[in-house]
């Protein structure tokens, strides 16, 4: 029994290390998670992973999406630490059923309300970005009903995990895909 107690801890650590290394090399587990073996040997931390989310709206316009903005922290951490293609497919399907508004809409509504409530105060103009592709988020029940900009719905969505890489020899960073892109489409009701 003493012999088992003596070898149990090292055996457990070796087992965890092997499982963590296996998942990091085959299932995109971040080396920073799953035991932490290798966490200081790479910049592939969960925070360095990006979910590229795009869609095409009903008017065939490209829409950039903020998928993480409405997720709770534990879900976001789990998705970044161990990204799975099954999760991407599920998220992409759910995006097709949502309505989207520009990210800045909440800030603009609050600003306009302040201007309307305080007409005697001269407010500076809000800087509007001339970005051809604004970032959109899922519309929430707290958003105002009469929005100046149209609400977007998607007919196609595309998701892909990307990660930051560093080349020591050339001292440069770049982003590379971690997974294949997942694309889903909504079938139009008038199509056979």
pLDDT digits (tens, 9 = 90+) for 126-136: 555 444 567 88
Same domain assignment for residues 145 and 80: yes
List phi, psi (to 5°) of 166.
-135, 130
* pLDDT at residue 118 tops 90: no
* pLDDT at residue 46 tops 60: yes
List phi, psi (to 5°) of 10.
-60, -40
Average the pLDDT over 4-16 and give the result: 83
More confident residue, 46 or 61: 61
Query: Residue 97 falls within a domain, yes or no?
Result: yes
Same domain assignment for residues 26 and 92: no
Q: CA-to-CA distance for 137 and 184, rounded, in angstroms?
A: 18
Provide the pLDDT for residue 190: 52
Same domain assignment for residues 56 and 33: no
Same domain assignment for residues 59 and 36: no
* Number of domains, the chain: 2
Same domain assignment for residues 29 and 57: no
Same domain assignment for residues 77 and 48: yes
Average the pLDDT over 30-51 and give the result: 64
Centre a 10 Å sphere on the Cβ of residue 155 and count the other Cβ atoms it contains: 16
52: region left, alpha or beta (phi > 0 left; psi from -120 to 50 alpha)? beta
Provide the pLDDT for residue 91: 87
pLDDT digits (tens, 9 = 90+) for 67-110: 877 778 888 877 887 778 888 888 889 899 888 888 765 566 66
* Residues β-bridged to residue 100: 138, 152
More confident residue, 71 or 35: 71
Same domain assignment for residues 141 and 169: yes
Hey, which of 104-113, 162-171, 176-185 has the most confident mean pLDDT?
176-185
Same domain assignment for residues 24 and 81: no
Query: Residue 112 falls within a domain, yes or no?
Result: no
Range of the domain at 54: 43-103+130-185
Same domain assignment for residues 28 and 73: no
Q: Which of 2-6, 39-43, 64-68, 156-160 has the lowest mean pLDDT?
A: 39-43
Q: How confident is the model at residue 30 (pLDDT cuts 50, 70, 90)?
A: low
Same domain assignment for residues 7 and 94: no
Q: CA-to-CA distance for 9 and 3, rounded, in angstroms?
A: 11
Query: Residue 10 falls within a domain, yes or no?
Result: yes
Q: How confident is the model at residue 157 (pLDDT cuts 50, 70, 90)?
A: very high
Same domain assignment for residues 58 and 72: yes
Kindly state the tokens that stand for 84: 């799975």
Name the average pLDDT for the chain: 77
Q: How confident is the model at residue 191 (pLDDT cuts 50, 70, 90)?
A: very low
**Which residues make Cβ contacts (< 8 Å) with residue 23, sequence separation at least 6?**
29, 34, 82
């Amino acid at each position: 029994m003493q012999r088992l107690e003596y070898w149990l801890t090292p055996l457990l650590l070796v087992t965890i290390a092997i499982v963590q290394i296996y998942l990091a090399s085959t299932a995109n587990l971040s080396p920073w998670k799953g035991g932490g073996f290798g966490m200081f040997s790479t910049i592939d931390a969960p925070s360095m992973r990006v979910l590229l989310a795009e869609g095409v709206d009903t008017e065939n316009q490209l829409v950039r999406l903020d998928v993480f903005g409405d997720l709770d922290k534990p879900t976001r951490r789990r998705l970044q630490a161990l990204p799975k293609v099954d999760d991407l497919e599920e998220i992409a399907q759910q995006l097709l059923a949502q309505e989207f508004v520009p990210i800045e809409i909440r800030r603009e509504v609050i600003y306009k309300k302040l201007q309307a409530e305080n007409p005697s105060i001269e407010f500076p103009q809000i800087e509007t970005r001339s970005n051809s592709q604004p970032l959109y988020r899922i519309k929430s029940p707290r958003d105002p009903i009469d929005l100046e900009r149209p609400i977007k719905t998607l007919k196609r969505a595309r998701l892909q995990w990307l990660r930051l890489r560093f080349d020591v020899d050339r001292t440069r960073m770049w982003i590379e895909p971690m997974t294949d892109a997942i694309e889903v489409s909504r079938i139009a009701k008038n199509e056979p």
